[in-house]
Amino acid sequence: MKPAIGLLAALAASIGGAAAFDVNCNSNYASYYGQNSARNQKALGEYCKDATEDVIVLAFMNGFPNILLNFANACETTFEGSSLLHCPNIAKDIEYCQSQGKAVILSMGGASGAYGFSGDSDAIAFADTVWNMFFKGKADQRPFDDAVLDGIDLDIEGGSGA
């Protein structure tokens, strides 16, 4: 395992999960949310009303270490003076989903995008940024405001190694 990926895996392992997801169960149901190109995707909270759902994967953070998020029509607003998405409606729905026992995680990578690290120090700094922006850390700009995600999905299909 490359050190950068190992660091991200350790970050993911340190984050608690929601009650409905059971790592020892072979019938957990996970679905990706945020890539409906037909622009008719429902709000995240609507999918969490379905008892079948156990894990919702928010797709995608397809640019890093310079963070680029893409949730298609689910979030298209940005922080003032920035290209970073600000998704207060998804934030509210994350908290609702978690109250329904669903795990909500962020998928990093994907088939397209610009991602990779120039070295281990770049990856370590990025892990801190991810912690501060999406988990229990603090940052001035948090795409999902105060909502705290349950983990990450590494969908590394390309990019450079570090």
**Residue numbers annotated as active site:** 157
Label each residue of the chain as H, E or C: CCHHHHHHHHHHHCCCCCCCCCCCCCCCCEEEECCCCCCCCCCHHHHCCCCCCCEEEEEEEEEECCCEECCHHHCCCECCCCCCECCHHHHHHHHHHHHCCCEEEEEEEECCCEEECCCHHHHHHHHHHHHHHHCCCCCCCCCCCCCCCCEEEEEECCCECC
